[in-house]
Structure 1
Amino acid sequence: MKEGIHPAYELTTATCACGKIFEVGSVRKDIKVEICSACHPFFTGKQKLVDTAGRIERFKKKYAKFQDSADK
């Protein structure tokens, strides 16, 4: 690697909109994020599956005959 062309990599603080502060390594001084693992619905278990326009039912109806033939 060439000397003197890379930015300094150091520990910095990342602040989430929910208020959680954690340390990460970065070339930036302070990082502000909108969502983190403490408030993201996937990690908190509050994730909702929304079926708009019955897509799951249409899929199951369309491929039901393939499932029936595979069971035999």
Structure 2
Amino acid sequence: MRTGIHPEYRTVVFRDAASGALYRTRSTVAATGTIDVDGETLPLVSVDISAASHPFWTGNQRVLDTAGRVERFNQRYARYRGARATEG
């Protein structure tokens, strides 16, 4: 490999902003700060969402009220449907 063209690959800590969970891994991402983990100062990267707070992985998915949406749609556009039926 050519020297001087690749980003630095190092150990970093990702912190989930929603849950506060910490993940220690290796990455090339630019760090925003530092954190002490097990007596070692490591670069810290804050992320908005991770497996600790993502609805798919935690099972806290929101159920959408699709029946209510369909009813509102039908009520809103009922007058157009009735006018089109009399034209044709």
TM range (shorter): 0.5 to 0.7
Q: Separation in 2 of the partners of 1:10 and 1:43?
A: 27
The match for 1:15 is 15
SS of the residue 1:46 aligns to? coil
Runs of 4+ in 1 over 4 A off after TM superposition: none
The match for 2:55 is 41
TM-score (norm: length of structure 2): 0.53
List runs of 5+ in structure 1 lacking aligned partners: 55-72
Look up the equivalent residue of 1:13 and give its one-letter code. V
Q: Separation in 2 of the partners of 1:49 and 1:2?
A: 52
Q: Separation in 1 of the partners of 2:7 and 2:61?
A: 38
Give the alignment's Cα RMSD to 1 decimal: 2.2
Report which of the two structures shows the higher radius of gyration computed on alpha carbons: 2
Equivalent residue pairs, number: 56
Q: Deviations over 1:17-57 (max 9, x none)?
A: 11101112212232101111111111111112314422xxx
Look up the equivalent residue of 1:9 and give its one-letter code. Y
List runs of 5+ in structure 2 lacking aligned partners: 32-43, 71-88
